[in-house]
Amino acid sequence: MSIPILAEQKLLSHKLRRTSKRLEILEIFLSHRRNAISNQDIEDKVTDIDRITLYRTLKSFVKHGLIHEVVDGNGKVKFALCEDNCDHSHHHDNHAHFHCQKCGHTICVNGDINSDLKIPVGYKVNKTSLIVEGLCAKCN
């Protein structure tokens, strides 16, 4: 088995204590790169994890800027690995998500959505969400 150096470094730089479950879950996100995955996907891959531990781990990962929530076109919540500049105080995932209408596959799409929006003066953006729907490369 390979030593999850990258996962360890990421936990450390995001001020999270390393536990074997955290490492295991983070490894799954690292291997999925820009692909969003659901609770169920993770539960299926991690050995002996209860839902509460998983829920708490995902919540602390989101809080510390390791992963972000993705609500796909059907209102289903998924999670994806953050961009490198996200940390415990700020998320910078101002990108769109592509959702395949056929297989449900959801991916992060590069490009800042906010840069082209003319947000009125005095308004503060807290969260940006844009879902692009269509067919993924496999289904198309």
Q: Which stretch, 10-18, 20-28, 108-116, 119-127, contacts Zn ion (CB under 5 A)?
A: 108-116
Q: What is the largest CA-CA distance in the chain?
A: 53
Quick one: DSSP state of residue 79?
A: E
* Other beta carbons within 10 Å of 95: 21
Q: How far apart are CA 36 and CA 126, in angstroms?
A: 21
Residue 81 interacting with Zn ion (CB under 5 A): no
* Cβ-based nearer residue to Zn ion, 22 or 68: 68
Going by their DSSP bridges, the two strands 67-71 and 106-109 should be labelled as unpaired
Footprint on residues 10-69 left by Zn ion (CB under 5 A)? 68
* Cβ-based nearer residue to Zn ion, 27 or 82: 82
Residue 107 interacting with Zn ion (CB under 5 A): no
Picking from 48, 79, 44, the residue whose alpha carbon sits closest to that of residue 64 is 79
* Cβ-based nearer residue to Zn ion, 118 or 138: 138
Residues engaged in binding Zn ion (CB under 5 A): 68, 80, 82, 86, 91, 93, 100, 102-103, 105, 108, 136, 139
